[in-house]
Amino acid sequence: MNLKGKRIVLGVTGGVAAFKAAYLARELQRAGATVQAVMTEAATHFVGTATFQALTGLPVYTDQWDTRIDNGMAHIELTRVADAVLIAPASADFIAKLAHGLCDDLLTTLCLARNCPLAVVPAMNREMWANPATQRNVAMLRDDGVAIFGPDSGDQACGETGEGRMLEAEQIAEAMDAFFVPKTLAGRRVLITAGPTFEPIDPVRGITNLSSGRMGFAIARACRRAGADVTLIAGPVSLPTPDGVVRIDVTTAEQMHRAVMTELDIARAAARMREGPVTAATRAANEAAAADYGASGAGARSAGARGAVGGFADGDGDPTSAGDDDPALAGEQAAAAVDYGASAASPKRGIDAFISVAAVADWRVANRSEQKLKKTDDGGAPALEFVQNPDILAEVARRPDAPYCVGFAAESEDLAANATAKRERKGVPLLVANIGHETFGRDENELLLIDAHGSRRLPRASKDALAAALATELAQRLRAR
């Protein structure tokens, strides 16, 4: 945990969400941090100082002229030993003061005089959050290098529903832990696949595997914590989406293939549009794609996520891929028109790395039944016919605009030999291998990294620890690319 041994000044401002700060203090301490609470006078109307003193074991400061500080300079002394200042909740009033450098109490003065990083967790009514003045103030803080966590959207104490709700304590603690991770992948875009695929036999049965998706989700989380923009294409798993990660849910190998290729097509089209003037044909093609997919409605996506969209055109006006007419993916593809239309916002850069962690089925059932297959009196089994699924990793690696490709191999024996052969067959620079049946569904793993120069073993550890090591490895390889 990156919070272990850290000293956090927890600033609490006035608002109903102040009670969440008590839970936050406990979460930060559970992660190994020392918490020093500083409260505004308004905050004490919602939660008493005794609560934070009992939780943190340290005196709580509210007064700029507190005589418990020998030199009378609490606003300076409290931050000189701190690793970060965290304001949670941060009211609209407090955010405005921070943005404009006003300091009329201990907490505002402390923030202005600090020599450590500052993070702010907004909490306010939805209308206050949406107010242009608040948005300007938040933008100013971001420009000044202040980290903004949230806000969330949901039910509010006032009885209304919308954006402005304070993040939960566990989410804030996770964000603070990630705050201290070196941002070795800052500015990079990473596309990851995770989990199994499910290949239907009939409406109620199918073929799948034992992959839990934990390794892929851990890598997505680690890359995001290292500063990357991460899109995660997930097979059928019930894992929560890592904070800040865009998630696209798919079921079959064909759906995963289309989602991956469309993400790459979108990035290529956007890059070409940035390189030169956009032709009328290109703009018309993208506007048509926007109309087609924008009308299909939003599907099941994590908050803030978008779906993949096929049919976008590159700088020459030629379609980059055929539009996806699979109804199972239609919902996943709805929002990309808004996000990536020719006249709308486009990705700031192409995709830098593709990490193929998903355990994709090699075959699918060619003669899938539209009704449930029934047992017969003679005990005979249904005659299933199979066809090979697309090789997603190999196809990505062959693209002229291929990102840095990392493959995964789940083997059952002869790990080094089989994985080495797979790396060469797929044409990827790095392959990560493990014994599949020894890791599926478990929290630990042991990995073998194979490239053109040989192999290196990552000893058994938690999947989170291995994912962090792989994110560091990826950052090094991208710099050397």
Alpha-carbon distance of 374 to 230, in angstroms, equals 43
* DSSP letters spanning 19-40: HHHHHHHHHHHHTT-EEEEEE-
Structure tokens at 361: 């089925």
* Residue 103 is a catalytic residue: no
Alpha-carbon distance of 382 to 401, in angstroms, equals 43
Structure tokens at 113: 């005089």
Alpha-carbon distance of 296 to 5, in angstroms, equals 50
Whether omega for the bond prior to residue 327 falls within 30 degrees of 0, making it cis, is no
Terminal Cα distance for the chain, rounded: 30
Alpha carbon of residue 269 to chain centroid: 23
Alpha-carbon distance of 61 to 9, in angstroms, equals 10
Three-state SS for 385?
coil
Q: At what angle do helices 18-30 and 169-179 cross, to 10 degrees?
A: 50
Q: Residue 100: count other Cβ atoms within 10 Å of its Cβ.
A: 10
Alpha-carbon distance of 205 to 199, in angstroms, equals 9
Rg over CA atoms, the chain: 26
Three-state SS for 247?
strand
Contacts of 209 (CB under 8 A, 6+ apart): 196, 359, 361, 440
Please identify which of the residues 111, 158, 223, 405 carries the catalytic annotation: 158
Structure tokens at 251: 């079921």
- At position 297, the amino acid (one-letter code) is G
Q: Cβ distance 244 to 300 under 8 Å?
A: no
The residues annotated as belonging to the active site are 158
